[in-house]
Structure 1
Amino acid sequence: MVESIANKITSFLISNKAIEEKESELYSYAFSILIAFLINISAILIIAYSLNLFKETILFLLCYCPIRQFTGGYHADNYKRCLLAFMLLYIVNICFVEFVFYYKLDYLILFEMIMSYIGICFLAPLEHRNNPLSKKELKIFKRVAVVLSSIVVFLVWIGIRYNNAYKFIYYVASSIICIFIMLIIGIIKQEFGGRV
């Protein structure tokens, strides 16, 4: 479905001479990625709205999405699996954060965040099999991933001091944990030849 829509958009642009036919593959791929991203984000926001966690989810996504672009990690084999994996990750994340919030287990989420941050610093970036990076790109991606993750960790340490911001801070902290989980799953998938 995603590829079909992307191909139709690309064909429309070619027929209106907005792009050249020799660029069709690139545009079709870019539109596929954009459409899949919009579907994923929309699904997560619908879940968040239905659970009355819209603001928390916006904060989570604002931290998660930019860092994830530079860390890499698990990538599903198709767009349906990608959507399902992201929704599953997010629902498990909600359960974890709500559990931590309900029982006031600050130390647990802070410990998990710090361990995940250290893991990101060591493991990122994890290359996608279809998009290998040069040595220069690997260094840049690592630097950006560490800087963005460091900013998030710093914001959590500042925000945890304010009682009225706890729940929001838990969701921000959980973004680092989720990114690390995606890195670990990506490494496992690579080790088992893409069968995970």
Structure 2
Amino acid sequence: MLHKLAEDISFYLITNKVIDIEDRDIYIYGLELLISTLFTSISILILGFLIRDWISAVAYLSVYFFLKSYTGGYHAKHYYECYIYSIFVFIVLIIAKNIIVPIYRPIIGLFSLIFSIIVVFKFAPVTNKNNPKTEEEILKNKKIARRRILILSIMVILGYTVKSKLIDLWLMLALTEFSIAYSILKAKFLDKST
């Protein structure tokens, strides 16, 4: 269904002379990614709204988009698997955030940040066979990923220091970093297709 929609859109763009027919396959792939990402993001925002925790949904998506494109990580074989995995991870993080005893939230948040920094510095970026990178691109992504994980982690620590009442937000940001670190490890050691 997603592929068919991307094909239809690309055909429309070709017919209206927006793109060249030679570039059709590239546009189909890009449109599939765009539609899949939009659908997943909107679903997470709706889910966040339905559970009355849209701030966590925005925090999750913000960290995810800010970091994952440079770190790489687990890639599902099909778009529907990616959708299910993304929704599942969001739900797990919401449950984790809500069941962690308040007194332990700062400690678990700090552990999540430290763990994430170590994983990103040691293993990111993870390359994927469907999106190969040159050595130059890998080095560039490594530098950007390291900078971004540090910026996010410092922001979470400073945010908690200045406004500890927002611990739910800071914890969600830290747990999302942790989930990206897990995704990196999963791709590096468990998923041999990358």
Fold conserved between structures, TM > 0.5: yes
* RMSD of equivalent CA atoms: 1.5
Secondary structure at the residue paired with 2:7? helix
The percentage of counterpart residues that share the same residue type is 24
Q: 1:142-184: CA deviations, max 9, x gaps? A: 0111111111000111011222221111111112101101111
Residues 74 and 189, structure 1, Cα contact 8 Å, conserved in 2: no
Give the aligned residue type for 1:88.
Answer: F
Give the aligned residue type for 2:67.
Answer: I
Number of residue pairs matched by the alignment: 193
Mark the runs of 5 or more structure 2 residues left unpaired by the alignment: none
For residue 74 of structure 2, what is the aligned residue in structure 1? 74
Q: 1:84-133: CA deviations, max 9, x gaps? A: 01111111111111122645431122112211211111110000112221
Secondary structure at the residue paired with 2:100? helix
Q: Bigger shift: 133-142 or 94-103?
A: 94-103
| Equivalent-residue separation in structure 2 for 1:92 and 1:156 (angstroms) | 20
Q: How does 1:40-55 map to 2 (within 5 A)?
A: 40-55=40-55
For residue 168 of structure 2, what is the aligned residue in structure 1? 167
Mark the runs of 5 or more structure 1 residues left unpaired by the alignment: none
TM-score, normalised by the number of residues in structure 2? 0.94
Shift of residue 60, structure 1, vs aligned partner: 2.3
For residue 99 of structure 2, what is the aligned residue in structure 1? 99
For residue 156 of structure 1, what is the aligned residue in structure 2? 156
Give the aligned residue type for 2:19.
Answer: I
Q: Bigger shift: 20-29 or 104-113?
A: 104-113
TM-score, normalised by the number of residues in structure 1? 0.93
| Equivalent-residue separation in structure 1 for 2:180 and 2:27 (angstroms) | 28
Q: Bigger shift: 26-35 or 90-99?
A: 90-99
Q: 1:149 to 1:187 in 2, by over 3 A?
A: same
